[in-house]
Amino acid sequence: MPKDTRTFACTKCGAAHPRWSGRCGDCGAWNSIEEEQALSVAGPSKKSLGMAKGRAVPLTDLSVQEEAPRRALSGIGELDRVLGGGLTRASATLVGGDPGIGKSTLLLQAAAMLGRSGAKVIYVSGEEASAQVAMRARRLGLADAPVKLAAETNLRDILTTLDKEMPDVAVIDSIQTMWADHVDSAPGSVSQVRAAAHELTSFAKKRGIAVILVGHVTKEGQIAGPRVVEHMVDTVLYFEGERGHPFRILRAVKNRFGPADEIGVFEMTGAGLAEVGNPSALFLSDQEKPSPGACVFAGIEGTRPVLTEFQALVAPAPHGTPRRTVVGWDGGRLAMILAVLEARCGIPFTGLDVYLNVAGGIRVSEPAADLAVACALLSAREDALMPPHCVVFGELSLSGALRPAVQTENRLNEAGRLGFKQAIAPAGSKLGGSGLEVRAFPDLPAVAGQVFGAG
Ligand code: TYD
Ligand code: MG
- Which range, 289-293, 302-306, 333-337, has the best average confidence (pLDDT)? 333-337
pLDDT at residue 64 is higher than 70: no
Q: What residue owns the CA closest to ligand 1's atom 12?
A: 102
Ligand 1 contact via 272 beta carbon (within 6 Å): yes
Assign 367 to helix, strand or coil: helix
Q: How far apart are CA 420 and CA 435, in angstroms?
A: 10
d(CA 165, CA 38): 31
**Among the residues of 257-404, which ranges form H helices?**
331-345, 370-382
Question: Does residue 177 have its Cβ closer than 6 Å to ligand 1?
Answer: no
**Element (H or E) spanning 96, and its range?**
strand 91-97
Please report the pLDDT score of residue 454 as a whole number.
Answer: 83
**For the CA of 141, the nearest ligand:** 1
Res 382 pLDDT > 60:
yes
Residue 239 CA: nearest ligand 1 atom is 7
What DSSP line would sit under 110-131, residue for residue?
HHHHHHHTT--EEEEESSS-HH
Is the pLDDT at 4 greater than 70? The verdict is no
99 is in an annotated binding site: yes
Instruction: Please tell me the distance from the alpha carbon of residue 14 to that of residue 34, in angstroms, as a whole number.
Output: 10
**Euclidean distance between CA atoms 175 and 178, whole angstroms:** 5
Q: Mean pLDDT lowest for which of 13-27, 90-104, 339-353?
A: 13-27
What separation in Å is there between the alpha carbon of 420 and the centre of ligand 2?
40
Q: What mean pLDDT comes out for the span 334-345?
A: 96
DSSP-derived secondary structure letter, 218: P
DSSP state of 90: S
Atom of ligand 1 nearest to the CA of 268: 19
| Pocket perturbation via mutation, ligand 1, pick of 268, 269, 273, 275 by most ligand atoms within 8 A of CB | 268
User: Per the omega criterion (within 30 degrees of 0), is the bond before 174 cis?
Assistant: yes
- Is 181 a known ligand-binding residue? no
Tell whether the model's pLDDT for residue 69 goes beyond 70. no
Fold of 294-452: Ribosomal Protein S5; domain 2 (3.30.230)
Q: Is 236 helix (H, G, I), strand (E, B) or coil?
A: strand
Q: Is the pLDDT of residue 42 over 90?
A: no
Distance 105 CA to ligand 1 centre (A): 6
Q: Tell me whether residue 244 is annotated as binding.
A: no
Q: How far is the CA of 109 from the centre of ligand 1 (A)?
A: 11
215 pocket-lining for ligand 1 (C-beta < 6 Å) = no
- Per-residue confidence at 56, pLDDT binned at 50, 70, 90? confident
Ligand nearest to the CA of 273: 1
Ligand 1 atom 21 nearest Cα: 272
Residues 153, 126 contacting (CB under 8 angstroms): yes
User: In angstroms, what is the span from residue 364 Cα to ligand 2's centroid?
Assistant: 26
Please state the rounded mean pLDDT for residues 232-260.
Answer: 89
HSE-CB of 78 using CA atoms within 13 angstroms:
22
Q: Is the pLDDT reported for residue 103 higher than 50?
A: yes
Q: Whose CA is nearest to atom 17 of ligand 1?
A: 272
Q: Is 100 in the pocket of ligand 1 (CB under 6 A)?
A: yes
- Is ligand 1 within 6 A of the CB of residue 135? no
Q: How many CB atoms lie within 10 A of CB 245?
A: 14
Pairing of strands 263-269, 272-275: antiparallel
SS3 state at 322: coil
Q: Which band of pLDDT confidence, cut at 50, 70 and 90, is reported for residue 52? A: low
Query: Across residues 325-337, what is the average pLDDT?
Result: 95
Coil, strand, or helix at residue 314?
A: strand
Asked if pLDDT for residue 97 goes beyond 90, the answer is: yes
Contact 263, 301 (CB under 8 A): yes
Task: Tell how far the Cα of 220 is from the centroid of ligand 1, in angstroms.
Answer: 22
State the burial class of residue 65 (Cβ atoms within 10 Å of its Cβ: 0-12, 13-18, 19+).
Answer: exposed
CA 100 to ligand 1 center in whole angstroms: 6
Tell me which architecture the domain covering 70-275 has in CATH: 3-Layer(aba) Sandwich (3.40)
- Angstrom distance (rounded) from CA 204 to CA 185: 24
Asked if ipTM goes beyond 0.90, one says yes
Q: Mean pLDDT throughout 241-261?
A: 86
Burial label for 51, CB within 10 Å (0-12, 13-18, 19+), is exposed
Confirm or deny that 46 is annotated as ligand binding.
no
Q: For the chain, how far is it from start to end, CA to CA, in angstroms?
A: 66
The confidence band for 250, taking pLDDT boundaries of 50, 70 and 90, is very high
d(CA 142, CA 328): 34
Ligand 1 center to 272 CA (angstroms): 7
pLDDT tens column, 416-450:
888 899 999 999 877 776 789 999 999 999 999 99
